Copies of this chain bind each other. A is one copy, B any other.
Amino acid sequence: MSITTLSVPLADDFHTHLRQGALMRAVTPLLKTSGVATAYVMPNLKPPVTTTEQALAYKAELEALAPNVNFLMTLYLTPELTPEEIRKAAKAGVAGVKSYPRGVTTNSDSGIESYTAYYEVFRAMEEVDMVLNLHGEIPSDAEEGVCVMNAEERFLKHLEQLHRDFPNLRIVLEHATTKAAVDMVKSLGATVGCSITVHHLSLIVDDWAGQCHHFCKPVAKYPHDREALRAIVKEGHPRFFLGTDSAPHPRHTKESSTAVAGVFTTPLVLPYLATILESFGALDKLQTFACENGRAFYKLPTRASTAPVATLFKQEYVVPKEYTYTDDEGHERSVVPFLAGKKLAWTLKA
């Protein structure tokens, strides 16, 4: 028996970067071919999204570009964020607050250095049941032996501590890349979830060694780490769910002496995912992982039985080499998608 057609509800991507300006206008409409109907949007713009007003204005821009998508908005955790703003944001439907350790990824210069200064904000979030999204890496520090390969593992004690101090605060460890992270999240309570990207189910360290389009933060790790990510998806563990961390960058900022971090998966989320899950025998977990687990953790309403579905056909699809657009300065640019020019085993018909 072989499966040749699959229907699942349009999926939920609980971590995506849709950018701003021309790049936002180029990438957001590509959600149409992704098989995704819920996009949980990161706030690391320039300047970062730190107020309810900014979040709502940003949401309106995105809705104009992709009217059928449910955009869930987030605020960027900074010292200026107050409990009052949290309560206001919650009322306005802002779903979460994103914490970036300072300097570890794109536009994270406003990131945090220690969590204790934010405990009042976290208390307010716990009260209003808003989600805390953690970029789970500590900054590299050669003196302390911290580098991109162990920055996530060394962060985990902070996750553990936060969960102990705020057991009712829903916390998501974003884009897990290590067995250590999977084990830690499993060991914690029902309020701790974990997003996993498409690309981290596919890549290991070798794949970004010299390959700038596979370079992202956190970096892909060892084979046994990828194996742990695959195993937890295969197991169907309810607290692990899809968050693509799709992060578009213009080609010239990747193919340069100093590449920016990010893998761009937005246009083909479900075709990528079906292809990769099938490769390790977990195609039967596509719906659980991409359409159910995250929804339950985020307490989104149950889908109506008439909700639109994504239909996937077992039919080769060649990933476009690039998506072109004109940037804010009028230059012709392009964004290179994950696995550009490679064949996927599954094709989406929405």
Main secondary structure of the interface of A (DSSP, over half): loop
Q: How would residues 137 to 158 of chain A score, 1 for a CB under 8 Å from any chain B CB and 0 otherwise?
A: 0001011111111100000000
Chain A positions 225-261 with a Cβ under 8 Å from a chain B Cβ: 226, 254-261
Q: How would residues 256 to 280 of chain A score, 1 for a CB under 8 Å from any chain B CB and 0 otherwise?
A: 1111110000000000000000000
Q: How would residues 332 to 345 of chain A score, 1 for a CB under 8 Å from any chain B CB and 0 otherwise?
A: 00001000100000
Whether A210 sits at the interface, judged by CB under 8 Å, is yes
Residues of B within 8 A of A144 (CB): 223
Number of interface residues of A (CB under 8 A): 35
Whether A87 sits at the interface, judged by CB under 8 Å, is no
Chain A positions 138-193 with a Cβ under 8 Å from a chain B Cβ: 140, 142-150
Q: Which residue of B lies closest to A261 (CB)?
A: B210
A241–B297 alpha-carbon span in the complex (Å):
57
Identical chains bound together, number: 2
Most buried by B among A140, A210, A254: A210
Residues of B within 8 A of A212 (CB): 210, 212, 257, 259
Whether A64 sits at the interface, judged by CB under 8 Å, is no
Residues of B within 8 A of A317 (CB): none
A222–B211 alpha-carbon span in the complex (Å):
20
User: Does the CB pair A256–B255 fall under 8 Å?
Assistant: yes
Whether A127 sits at the interface, judged by CB under 8 Å, is no
User: Does the CB pair A204–B142 fall under 8 Å?
Assistant: yes
Residues of B within 8 A of A149 (CB): 149, 205, 222
Interface residues, chain A, CB within 8 Å of chain B?
Answer: 140, 142-150, 204-206, 208-213, 215, 219, 222-224, 226, 254-261, 336, 340
Sort A-B residue pairs by CB-CB distance and give the 4 closest, nearest first: A210-B259, A142-B223, A210-B215, A145-B223
